Amino acid sequence: MWRPPRRLPCPLRRAAATTGPGRRLLLSTPIFYANGPPHIGHLYSALLADALLRHRRLRAAGPARLCTGTDEHGLKIQQAAAAAGTSPAELCERVSGLFRQALTQAGVAYTDFTRTSEPRHQRAVRHFWGALRDGGVLYKGSYEGWYCTPEESFLPESQLAEGTDAQGRLCKVSLETGHEVHWTKEENYMFRLSAFRDPLQNWLRDNPRAIFPDPFYQCVLRWLDEDLPDLSVSRERSRLQWGIPVPNDPTQTIYVWVDALVNYLSVVGYPESHGAWWPAVHHVVGKDILKFHALYWPALLLAAGLEPPERILVHSHWTVRGQKMSKSLGNVVDPSVCMGQYGVDGFRYFLLRQGVPERDCDYYDEKVVKLVNSELADALGGLLNRSTAPSINPSNTYPCFSEPCFPKVLDPREARGTGRACAEDYRLVAAVASLPVQVDRYFEGFQIYKALECIAQCVRQTNGFFQRHRPWKLDRRDAVEQLWLDTILHVTLECLRVYGTLLQPVVPHTADKLLSRLAVGPGERRLSGLTFLARYDGKPCPFEGRQLGPDTGILFHRLGKLETMKKRKQEAQVPDKQL
């Protein structure tokens, strides 16, 4: 029997101030479902969050944490373990280890790794359930509908299509994923989601950037204009034993998504000490779990007397040669194999440079090789090698800048006749001078790919500058020519120093190698206070005349021929084992 809640959303319990300089910020990835090994979609979520964290730290914007982990309960895991002839706990232990290993290999600087099987998390879930119960938003009722086990959710008829099962028989499938659904009827606890339409609409109206990019914000608004049925938040324990029991009701198991979402609270010490961080939280999630994070989670938080997260940053999916990744097609891309094949920084750069949050992005080997060779090995690495080569910079120093060779002008068109620099050179200086602000704006706008696009464009311009003036052709015995040669090298190294600083969140090892070659110390690598070509503005340059760092060889090695790489990839892959 349906019963209304005793009362509607509780008054919000305000957390500590989350605005102003030095404020705290928690960045999160989804916790990854432990029924199978990681793929590049998982890694992409983690790299987006990692780059945002690293960028924030370089800006010295305040304390920050990055939480990730594994979601280890639910029917899918119970079934996968049974099929593999192991226990759910053993399966989760192994798969969780694979995720931790992949994230560590990729250089993801997470500060917290939560497993939903941990006692601290389960305690938080039980307390959160109690808050919902005490708020009068839970009731018990008979529920029936089409249940999708892979998605761990009931689906309405509008989200179903006709399909065939493994035996070729007609069946109902999820319209979005193609997974088979089964008619299920059971008694569950229900959450009065329908009562939260107005609070959710008010939240989004007052916070138009709460869900970003905008197409996903608009999608959630449309969902709120549609039917918003109450949500089943438990499962019969006779059917699902692998999960957290409902407090004071041993016949029911807490719905895996309620369990999983609470990880964002348990990681910051809920229910005692979460106020130091919550709600200054930015969730990075894939579009396939948008509804859980942008509808269910904020409603559950409001019901428990907590504020919704500050921002939900949403990204799209990766396809492989235009097809969705699936085990049946055999096209699931193993990130560990890719990092071995392209290098950690090479693969990080590819995913963050090519990934566009608003739309699905396509992966194939040729694209990785072409991009990484062109932008990291040739353009960036080649520029560093040419500008620091002993034949052109025998003193191995940061050369001096000559103001008469490159005088300051207000209009690049005035450049003719005033020095050796031309209008294109002044356009380069203006572009690089504005680059840190541009990059910062794109990171803040969750458009990391655009930040990298701007950097790559400036790297190309700098190569053009170097090639245009051919410093290797200048005669060192001529004092005037020597001044111009030193100025060309000074400008080039200043550009490289800016690029190395800005690329640290994306390719940390490569950026460190570049900055070390330029003798840029650890305390000189922050984005806050980053200067460029100070001598052009008549100010002293702390790097001028400094001895460069040791030559560590090629900055980024070109990737080999595709046929050779494919062979290595095949050799690196092990046969899939049943999970």
Residue 11 lies in a domain: no
- The conformation of residue 560, written as its DSSP 8-state character, comes to -
What is the Cα–Cα distance from 61 to 21, expressed in whole angstroms? 7
Q: Give the total number of structural domains in the chain.
A: 2
Whole-number Cα distances in Å, 151 to 180, 284, 519: 10, 19, 51
Looking at the structure, tell me whether residues 189 and 52 fall in a common domain: yes
Q: How many CB atoms lie within 10 A of CB 6?
A: 11
**Of 234, 6, 242, 239, which is closest to residue 142 (Cα–Cα)?**
234
Looking at the structure, tell me whether residues 67 and 209 fall in a common domain: yes
Looking at the structure, tell me whether residues 213 and 64 fall in a common domain: yes
Looking at the structure, tell me whether residues 163 and 292 fall in a common domain: yes
Three-state secondary structure call for residue 283: strand
Full DSSP string of 107-165? T---SEEEETTSHHHHHHHHHHHHHHHHTT-EEEEEEEEEEETTTTEEE-GGGEEEEE-
Q: How many CB atoms lie within 10 A of CB 156?
A: 11
Structure tokens at 134: 């005490």
Q: How many CB atoms lie within 10 A of CB 27?
A: 24
Q: How many CB atoms lie within 10 A of CB 324?
A: 13
The amino acid occupying position 78 is Q
Looking at the structure, tell me whether residues 261 and 397 fall in a common domain: no
The CATH code of the domain that includes 468 is 1.10.730.10
Residue 320 lies in a domain: no
Interval 41-91: pLDDT, tens: 999 999 999 999 999 999 999 999 999 999 999 988 998 999 999 999 999
What is the Cα–Cα distance from 351 to 506, expressed in whole angstroms? 10
Looking at the structure, tell me whether residues 157 and 248 fall in a common domain: yes
Across 11-15, 83-87, 412-416, least confident range = 11-15
The amino acid occupying position 550 is P
Residue 290 lies in a domain: yes
Looking at the structure, tell me whether residues 159 and 292 fall in a common domain: yes
Chosen domain end from 315, 341, 368: 315
How far the first Cα of the chain sits from its last, in Å, is 40
Chosen domain end from 290, 315, 340: 315
**Of 549, 435, 552, which is closest to residue 502 (Cα–Cα)?**
435
Structure tokens at 518: 């330029």
pLDDT at 418: 65
Interval 369-382: pLDDT, tens: 999 999 999 999 99
Whole-number Cα distances in Å, 554 to 343, 381, 526: 14, 7, 24
Model confidence at 155, pLDDT cuts 50, 70, 90, reads: confident
Three-state secondary structure call for residue 416: coil
Whole-number Cα distances in Å, 108 to 202, 313, 357: 35, 18, 19
Looking at the structure, tell me whether residues 311 and 381 fall in a common domain: no
Residue 322 lies in a domain: no
Looking at the structure, tell me whether residues 299 and 399 fall in a common domain: no
Structure tokens at 541: 């340059």
The model carries a pTM of 0.90
Across 314-323, 409-418, 467-476, least confident range = 409-418
Residue 542 lies in a domain: no
Averaging pLDDT over each range in 74-83, 110-119, 164-173, 472-481, which range is the top one?
110-119
Structural domain including 482 reads: 377-537
Hey, CA dihedral for 242, 247, 249, 255, is it positive or negative? negative
The CATH code of the domain that includes 84 is 3.40.50.620
What is the Cα–Cα distance from 514 to 243, expressed in whole angstroms? 49
Residue 188 lies in a domain: yes
Looking at the DSSP assignment, which residues form a beta bridge with residue 170?
164
Chosen domain end from 291, 315, 339: 315
Residue 576 lies in a domain: no
Three-state secondary structure call for residue 250: strand
Kindly state the greatest CA–CA separation across the chain: 96
pLDDT at 414: 64
Model confidence at 10, pLDDT cuts 50, 70, 90, reads: very low
What is the Cα–Cα distance from 81 to 90, expressed in whole angstroms? 8
Interval 527-550: pLDDT, tens: 988 999 999 999 999 999 999 999
Looking at the structure, tell me whether residues 124 and 268 fall in a common domain: yes
Looking at the structure, tell me whether residues 303 and 403 fall in a common domain: no
Q: How far is CA 153 from the centre of its chain?
A: 25
Looking at the structure, tell me whether residues 173 and 263 fall in a common domain: yes
Residue 241 lies in a domain: yes
pLDDT at 578: 35
